[in-house]
Structure 1
Amino acid sequence: MPVASQPFAPLLRKSGLRPLLLASALVSAPLAQAADLALPAVKDAPVFNAPLPYELEVGARYFYSTGYYRGDLYSSETPAHMVSRLTYGNLDAHAAETFFRLDHETGLFLKGNLGGGSIVGGHMTDEDYAPLELPNLPLSVYSKTVSSQSGGSLQYATVDGGFNVLKTAQYRLGGFVGYQYFRERMNTLGCVQVAANPYVCTSNASPTSVDQLDDDARWQSLRLGLSGRVAILPGLNFDAEVAWAHNWLRSTDYHNAKAPTWGTRDDGAGNGLQAEALLSYDLTPQLSVGVGGRYWYFDAGSGQSHWERTLTGGAPAPQRATSERYGMFVQTAYKIGGPGAGALPFGPLTLTKSTPSLHDWSGFYLGPNIGYGMGATTAYFTPLSPDSILNNWALASVPTSRAYPSVGFVGGGQMGYNYAIGQNALVGVETDIDYAHIGGSFGYSYLYPIVTSAARTEWLGTTRLRLGWTPGSGALLLYATGGLAYGGGFFNASMIDGVHYVFGANRSASVGWVAGAGAELAVAENVSLRAEYLFVDLGRRNLVATEYGGPAAMGAPLAYGLQSQVQHNLVRLGVNYRFNLLNAAATPVLASY
């Protein structure tokens, strides 16, 4: 159907999507002529069984976004007077996401997503407004400090249920109600005074190795919205949704240089807005790719900082927090069921072989992957100058070890080869290389010294054997895998007490081992979707932290031996394209939609 004849055409023009539609036309044109170009591409998967009364779409997304988080604190005695403001800006992030949508022929639908990733950049501005009383220090001068943000993380999940009030072959429109969980953690390193305040982060500015302040914000939202789809051209669809959200915030501020107020709890409730748009193209009736945009706004409205729950004590103070996140995503999706479509593209999952495998998995393959890594980093502290430290009561309080979360995004590609060893079994070898941002940091004030540590894996690769089994028709491959792992990153730790500054850092690559399991589903003759879990152990990183920038204790420099263990649990989603380098005549050619 021409765009001009669509009822939403004026809206699309006003919303600025016209350039995107023109770009999609440029993409779809060569796809429509692909048979003439004879380029390698996908062929339709075989269809089995009878049509189903529902349509299920599942897929994976890479979501690149940016945004900000802001917290305003007001005086408990004079609520109209702002005491301080924390502003995190330019919070660029990478996230991996899986999603689904289930539509029943009655019009009922259920949809949702689950995602996580890393906040890879940004900065934090900390403003304090006069007059403000600090412990033993009356502050009457405006203060503004700037710090960098590194090692932050995102986690989110959404589930919605609704009903399509309008539904034809060309469009659908429905309302929904749902729930969203969204967590963002920001880690602040260093501190530099950029105003005229002579007391905070001036001559004693905090080095960029010191984790000065962390914010952990957890939002829960009740969503109420509309969701719709328009078929622009055969195989080309435009989806959009918009939702009003009522938000509840529970956050924690970790001022690592202020033990009496460390872990201050904040809360609040308010309203927000969420919107999303997607342009997708069907490579086959079941397999599609798409590009889209997303906007989330959270407002905690009126809330409180609970000083009464800290060691310092005091009355709760009014506070307000807001957060904004927006960006672009790309996705791959696979559809099961629906009018005129078959059911699952594989037979019953039986433990005994009844018929030979119909799908051929043998040959070379390659493709992209995205995922999420999680685990914990443990930093071990070993005094190397015991006489010096025992004579310094403050640094003697440093712990022997400290564990902190280590999470983040991974994404890259893999290639491999499968060899059939029977009608329902295969053995293969695979290698992959990924960009990674899996890490975290912690900070705390022990007596007086601030003790911090940070670790991150920045790239990751594996070379593995795979042993697979294909039940039923063979369109589903289950496999176990294991082998060699390698990766690179950094680990650092510091202790600072105003006189002594002990710091050490290690940036290196290491080799270890990996084991896991996964599943692949053939969604076309030469294309498969995959999900896998891997446990990666890269051993331990070691370093020596020594003192500089201050006088030695008892005439000898302070020194610590530091060690961290690098272990990650990875969940990855991917796409594989299979081809046969040894038999050019067997290489699939493009089939039209």
Structure 2
Amino acid sequence: MKRSLSGAIAMLALAAAAPTLAADYPMFGAMRPSYDNGWEQSTENPLRMEAGLRYWYSLGEQSAEIGGNSYDTNDRSHILEGHLRIDDDYTSTFLKGQAGYAVYTTGDHNTNVGVPSPFEGGQIGYAGADFGYTPFGNETFRFGALVGYQYNRESPDRNRYDVQNVDGLNLHSLRLGVTAHADINEMFDIDAEIAAIPYAYGYGASAEIPMADTVIQGVTVNRTRTETSGALYGASGQIMIGFHPTENLTIRVGGRAWLLEGPSSSRQKWWEASTPDSYIYSDQSLNGFSLLRYGALAELTGRF
């Protein structure tokens, strides 16, 4: 009985002295406070996403000179493109990708003879991705750099339904550039980028072309095929003006341009008339090769 009474008195004394002890000994006041109201609700998600479709009315120009003969190709292509962008506000980084293909192409192929040859239904497509870092700016303006890779298929004068024309022109490019985004107000924004292409590798070939028996390097041949390859360089740029009719919908219009040029080589492959599986090569320099593609863009994008 005395022990119980003594214990109760000791507990009451400790309770009464608790405020004083907490003041004298900081360890008592350093205990974790209670959670704020709504602690179970997560903070704002740092990830933002955009996905949508673009239409690119594209004008293309290819030019080259082989053995003193000039070859030029001009096309008008209607390209549909899908794109995706993910922004991480916490790290000020983004990842974006795009892929497009021409649904309809027309154009003209010209040689030094001066008689244009019209064509329809070529192969023009591309796919690529960029990683960017935009540490500079504020809530309404961001600026930074990007690095990326892009594959291009540039064969506007190749019939996509002809299995003999499967090689075309293929390009693998490295992109290094700068990018900026500005929110003018709640309704409008501007997005721009410009990139150098310090290195691109291109390769391709034409279809096999039957020909009359001809003596080349002392061998009688009856078929030929042109193969090209080389290292290129260039630049690309894009600017878009956006309008936000709703919180999650964006409509943008703007323009885009790509340019690649550089020295390349051309190899003519000739098949022997007497032995169909045997062939010879004739190497030539491909001078003044250039590829330009530019045009107007329209975009419909959802924001999440």
- TM-score exceeds 0.5: yes
Instruction: Indicate how the Cα distance of structure 1 residues 324 and 295 shifts in structure 2: closer, same or farther if over 3 A, else same.
Output: same
Q: Does 1:179 align with 2:149?
A: yes
Deviations 1:411-461 (A, max 9, x none): xxxxxxxxxxxxxxxxxxxxxxxxxxxxxxxxxxxxxxxxxxxxxxxxxxx
The correspondence for 1:322, drawn from 285, 290, 303, is: 290
The correspondence for 1:285, drawn from 247, 264, 273, is: 247
Q: Does 1:61 align with 2:32?
A: no
Residue identity opposite 2:57 in structure 1: Y
Instruction: Indicate how the Cα distance of structure 1 residues 232 and 144 shifts in structure 2: closer, same or farther if over 3 A, else same.
Output: same
Shift in Å, 1:325: 0.7
Q: Does 1:115 align with 2:100?
A: yes
Q: Does 1:237 align with 2:237?
A: no
Give the TM-score, by structure 1 length. 0.38
Which of the two has greater strand per residue? 2
Shift in Å, 1:49: 7.8
Residue identity opposite 2:84 in structure 1: F
5+ residue gaps, structure 2, are: 1-40, 160-164, 212-221, 272-278
Shift in Å, 1:276: 0.3
Shift in Å, 1:310: 4.0
Q: Match for residue 228 of structure 2?
A: 266
Instruction: Indicate how the Cα distance of structure 1 residues 272 and 119 shifts in structure 2: closer, same or farther if over 3 A, else same.
Output: farther
Q: What is the alpha-carbon distance in structure 2 between the residues aligned to residue 73 and residue 166 of structure 1?
A: 48
Q: What is the alpha-carbon distance in structure 1 between the residues aligned to residue 103 and residue 62 of structure 2?
A: 15
Shift in Å, 1:126: 1.7
1:187–1:214 contact (8 Å) kept in structure 2: no
Q: What is the alpha-carbon distance in structure 2 between the residues aligned to residue 185 and residue 118 of structure 1?
A: 13
Residue identity opposite 1:185 in structure 2: S
2:86–2:96 contact (8 Å) kept in structure 1: yes
Give the TM-score, by structure 2 length. 0.73
Q: What is the alpha-carbon distance in structure 2 between the residues aligned to residue 173 and residue 58 of structure 1?
A: 21
2:107–2:157 contact (8 Å) kept in structure 1: no
2:83–2:96 contact (8 Å) kept in structure 1: yes
Q: Does 1:148 align with 2:144?
A: no
Shift in Å, 1:284: 2.0
Q: Match for residue 131 of structure 2?
A: 161
Q: Does 1:87 align with 2:55?
A: no
Deviations 1:79-115 (A, max 9, x none): xxx2x221112x1101111111111121111112011
Shift in Å, 1:294: 0.4
Q: What is the alpha-carbon distance in structure 1 between the residues aligned to residue 205 and residue 291 of structure 2?
A: 15
Deviations 1:126-168 (A, max 9, x none): 22xxxxxxxxxxxxxxx44321121112110120112112142
Shift in Å, 1:314: 3.2
Instruction: Indicate how the Cα distance of structure 1 residues 188 and 114 shifts in structure 2: closer, same or farther if over 3 A, else same.
Output: closer
Q: What is the alpha-carbon distance in structure 2 between the residues aligned to residue 260 and residue 178 of structure 1?
A: 40
Q: Does 1:302 align with 2:270?
A: no
> Relative contact order (C-alpha < 8 Å, sep 6+): which is higher?
2
Q: What is the alpha-carbon distance in structure 2 between the residues aligned to residue 331 and residue 50 of structure 1?
A: 31
5+ residue gaps, structure 1, are: 1-47, 75-81, 128-142, 190-212, 337-593
1:110–1:160 contact (8 Å) kept in structure 2: yes
Residue identity opposite 1:279 in structure 2: I
Shift in Å, 1:256: 3.0
Deviations 1:506-542 (A, max 9, x none): xxxxxxxxxxxxxxxxxxxxxxxxxxxxxxxxxxxxx
Q: What is the alpha-carbon distance in structure 1 between the residues aligned to residue 202 and residue 83 of structure 2?
A: 24
Shift in Å, 1:266: 0.5
Shift in Å, 1:234: 2.2
Q: What is the alpha-carbon distance in structure 2 between the residues aligned to residue 68 and residue 145 of structure 1?
A: 17
Q: What is the alpha-carbon distance in structure 2 between the residues aligned to residue 148 and residue 215 of structure 1?
A: 20
After the TM superposition, which parts of structure 1 deviate over 4 Å for at least 4 consecutive aligned residues? none
The correspondence for 1:248, drawn from 182, 191, 201, is: 201
Instruction: Indicate how the Cα distance of structure 1 residues 167 and 240 shifts in structure 2: closer, same or farther if over 3 A, else same.
Output: same
Bigger radius of gyration = 2
Shift in Å, 1:173: 0.7
Deviations 1:462-515 (A, max 9, x none): xxxxxxxxxxxxxxxxxxxxxxxxxxxxxxxxxxxxxxxxxxxxxxxxxxxxxx
Q: What's the RMSD between the two structures over aligned residues?
A: 2.5
Q: What is the alpha-carbon distance in structure 2 between the residues aligned to residue 52 and residue 328 of structure 1?
A: 34
Shift in Å, 1:214: 9.5
Instruction: Indicate how the Cα distance of structure 1 residues 125 and 188 shifts in structure 2: closer, same or farther if over 3 A, else same.
Output: farther
Shift in Å, 1:188: 6.9
Q: Percent of aligned pairs with the same residue? A: 26
Residue identity opposite 2:49 in structure 1: L
Q: Does 1:73 align with 2:66?
A: yes
